[in-house]
Amino acid sequence: MKHSTNGDRLLNRRVIFKLHGMNPLDATVLKQDETGYWIRGGTLADQLDESNCSLPESDVRYLEFSRIEWLRAPRQRS
């Protein structure tokens, strides 16, 4: 799966992520780097390890590309 082409259009949008072995969950994409996404909130953040976050009390988490089976961003309304 190629992620770099999706990066800019996903920023600050609610995205549905299907991780390997999990049901689809949603989160807002804050930033993308070479190996994954920084995401916030939704139903996904609570399911990710707190060691992958900026601050323990934060709902911001890091999600590696290797954990993602697929992702989908709902169409933006015009």
Q: Report how far residue 34's alpha carbon sits from residue 20's, in angstroms, rounded to the nearest whole number.
A: 20
Give the residue-averaged pLDDT of 68-76: 90
Specify the pLDDT at position 6: 57
Are 58 and 72 in contact, with CB atoms under 8 Å apart? no
CATH number assigned to the domain comprising residue 45: 2.30.30
Instruction: For residue 77, tell me if it sits in a domain.
Output: no
Instruction: For residue 1, tell me if it sits in a domain.
Output: no
Q: pLDDT at residue 78 above 80?
A: no
Q: Report how far residue 14's alpha carbon sits from residue 11's, in angstroms, rounded to the nearest whole number.
A: 9
Instruction: For residue 68, tell me if it sits in a domain.
Output: yes
Q: Report how far residue 20's alpha carbon sits from residue 28's, in angstroms, rounded to the nearest whole number.
A: 19
Instruction: For residue 63, tell me if it sits in a domain.
Output: yes
Instruction: For residue 78, tell me if it sits in a domain.
Output: no
**Domain of 51, in residue numbers:** 7-72
Tens digits of per-residue pLDDT, 26-60? 999 999 999 999 999 999 988 887 776 666 677 88
Q: Angle at CA 46, nearest 5°, toward 34 and 49?
A: 55
Give the count of domains, the chain.
1
Q: Angle at CA 69, nearest 5°, toward 66 and 71?
A: 110
